[in-house]
Amino acid sequence: MQLDLTGRRALVTGGGAGIGAAIARTLGAAGADVAVLYYTDSQEGAEELVAELTTLGRKAVALFADLMDPDSATSVVDAAAEALGGLDIIVNNAGHMVGRATIAEMTNEHWSRVMDVNNSTAFYVTRAAIPYLTQSSAGRVILMSSLAAENGGGPGSVAYAAAKAAVVGLCRGLAKELAGEGVTVNAMAPGFIGATSFHNTFTAPEVQESIIAGIPLKRAGTVQDVANVALFLTSDLASYVTGQVIDINGGLNFR
Catalytic residue IDs = 160
How far is the C-alpha of 167 from the C-alpha of 177, rounded, in Å?
A: 15
CB 249 within 8 A of CB 191: yes
110/61 Cα distance (integer angstroms): 32
| Residues counted in the chain | 255
Report the C-alpha gap between 35 and 53 in whole angstroms.
10
CA 232 centroid distance within chain: 14
Residue pair 133/238 in contact (Cβ under 8 Å)? The answer is: no
User: Residue 221's closest CA among 246, 243, 240?
Assistant: 246
Report which secondary-structure segment, H or E, holds 34.
strand 33-38
